[in-house]
């Protein structure tokens, strides 16, 4: 019950161990088509440039940036946590010129700050931000951030690693140009895959870049030829069939539930957890109401408590893993996740009772 990986749905674990199909087997090609269609459902997009990368969410972050950032081009990154900060490192490695719009850790991105940064930097090509910042528990209004980016003629990149499948994400309606996620949080699958989606605008940009994309593995055009053709698919990498079985199963389970129902379930269990943590343990989330990720709570560690000791005791005594703080919040918070298969009443109670025992309340 940390910030992910979350526990995996048992049907997904079963699917992983089915006999391997070759990546060129007609049955496997069908499976890829189904995954694509299920991801379009999950992302709420009609874009054909929707598929899964054969690596974890950080690979997806790099893929979105490497395609949309040319050396020397200006990129605004809205930073209010660890993962947005990682984006600035990647942009710098790609030779982009980073402008940081900074907010406090534990708060949503302030859209007005982005607006004024764009006024000062009208030559900005890309604006990048994180929807649900896993390191702080804060949720930003990326619909608005994307709108502001477009008004200034920039493309938008959104990290939906912790939001996808657990809280509202509308890639087309919000006009997000590039999004990436992971498999091990809201999707209730194992870690190691990164669903991505690119808008027509993004694809047009990549096709008309002045410089080559600085990656072969993450090149959107090469990946698109593999997933979409035209005609016979062009071989790219050897797709990890067994991982894809797991993702397919996880996406089917999500579709069977209905994604709006899944969002609702995540909200309800979050409310239940917050209320019990407050009333029974006096624990409070650090993120203000209205800016909070429902399913990933950063909880303030009370004065005088050794937070690492509490986590080891929870693991040793109750077989319960919760997360530590990262970066600026290291030592100051616990991060409790109710994601995917883990978002249920039974685990809410289990978590509260285990914490009660360890904190001797």
**Chain contacts with its own copies (rule: CB under 8 A):** 2, 4-5, 7-8, 13-14, 16-20, 22-25, 54-59, 62, 66, 86, 89-90, 92-95, 182, 184, 190-192, 212-217, 219, 235-243, 246, 315, 321, 326
Phi, psi of 239 (to 5 degrees): -65, 135
Nearest to 36 by CA among 253, 251, 263, 341: 251
41 vs 226, which CB is nearer to its own copies? 226
Burial of 77 (0-12, 13-18, 19+ CB in 10 A): buried
CB of 59 to its own copies, least distance (A): 5
115 vs 240, which CB is nearer to its own copies? 240
170 vs 216, which CB is nearer to its own copies? 216
β-pairing verdict for 124-130 and 155-159: parallel
CB of 143 to its own copies, least distance (A): 27
CB of 142 to its own copies, least distance (A): 22
67 contacts: CB under 8 Å, gap ≥ 6: 178, 198, 202, 206, 213, 218, 219, 220
Q: Are 75 and 106 in contact (CB under 8 A)?
A: no
Q: If you search the block for the tokens 């053709």, which residue do you land on?
A: 229
95 vs 302, which CB is nearer to its own copies? 95
292 contacts: CB under 8 Å, gap ≥ 6: 137, 138, 139, 285
CB of 207 to its own copies, least distance (A): 15
62 vs 103, which CB is nearer to its own copies? 62
CB of 31 to its own copies, least distance (A): 14
Q: If you search the block for the tokens 């140009």, which residue do you land on?
A: 177
Nearest to 283 by CA among 67, 137, 77, 130: 137
152 vs 241, which CB is nearer to its own copies? 241
Phi, psi of 292 (to 5 degrees): -100, 140
CB of 222 to its own copies, least distance (A): 9
Cα separation, 49 vs 219, in Å, equals: 12
CB of 93 to its own copies, least distance (A): 5
Q: Rounded to the nearest 10 degrees, how much is the dihedral formed by the CA atoms of 62, 66, 70, 76?
A: -30
CB of 60 to its own copies, least distance (A): 10
267 vs 332, which CB is nearer to its own copies? 332
118 vs 298, which CB is nearer to its own copies? 298
Q: If you search the block for the tokens 């062009």, which residue do you land on?
A: 234
């Amino acid at each position: 019950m940390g910030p992910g990986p979350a526990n995996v749905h048992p049907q997904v674990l079963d699917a992983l161990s089915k006999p391997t199909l070759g990546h060129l087997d007609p049955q496997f090609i069908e499976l890829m088509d189904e995954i694509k269609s299920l991801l379009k459902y999950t992302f709420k997009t009609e874009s054909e440039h929707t598929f899964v990368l054969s690596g974890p969410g950080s690979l997806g972050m790099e893929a979105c940036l490497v395609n949309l950032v040319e050396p020397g081009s200006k990129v605004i990154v809205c930073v209010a946590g660890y993962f947005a900060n990682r984006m600035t490192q990647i942009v710098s490695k790609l030779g982009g010129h980073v402008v940081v719009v900074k907010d406090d850790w534990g708060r949503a991105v302030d859209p007005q700050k982005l607006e004024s940064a764009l006024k000062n930097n009208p030559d900005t090509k890309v604006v990048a931000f994180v929807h649900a910042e896993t390191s702080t528990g804060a949720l930003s209004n990326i619909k608005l951030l994307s709108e502001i980016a477009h008004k200034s003629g920039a493309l938008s990149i959104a990290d939906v690693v912790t939001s996808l499948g657990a809280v509202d994400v509308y890639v087309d309606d919000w006009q997000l140009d590039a999004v990436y996620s992971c498999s091990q949080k809201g999707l209730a699958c194992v870690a190691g895959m990164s669903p991505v989606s690119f808008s027509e605008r993004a694809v047009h940009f990549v096709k008309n870049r002045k410089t080559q994309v600085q990656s072969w593995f993450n090149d959107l055009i090469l990946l698109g030829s593999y997933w979409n053709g035209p005609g016979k698919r062009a071989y790219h990498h050897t797709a990890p069939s067994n991982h894809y079985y797991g993702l397919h199963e996880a996406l089917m389970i999500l579709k069977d539930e209905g994604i709006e129902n899944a969002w609702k379930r995540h909200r309800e269990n979050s409310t239940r957890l917050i209320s019990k943590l407050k009333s029974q343990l006096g624990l409070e989330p650090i993120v203000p109401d209205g800016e909070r990720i429902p399913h990933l709570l950063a909880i303030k560690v009370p004065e005088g408590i050794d937070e690492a000791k509490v986590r080891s005791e929870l693991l040793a005594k109750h077989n319960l893993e919760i997360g530590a703080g990262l970066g600026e919040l290291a030592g100051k918070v616990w991060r409790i996740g109710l994601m995917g298969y883990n978002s249920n009443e039974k685990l809410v109670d289990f978590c509260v009772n285990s914490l009660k025992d360890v904190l001797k309340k």
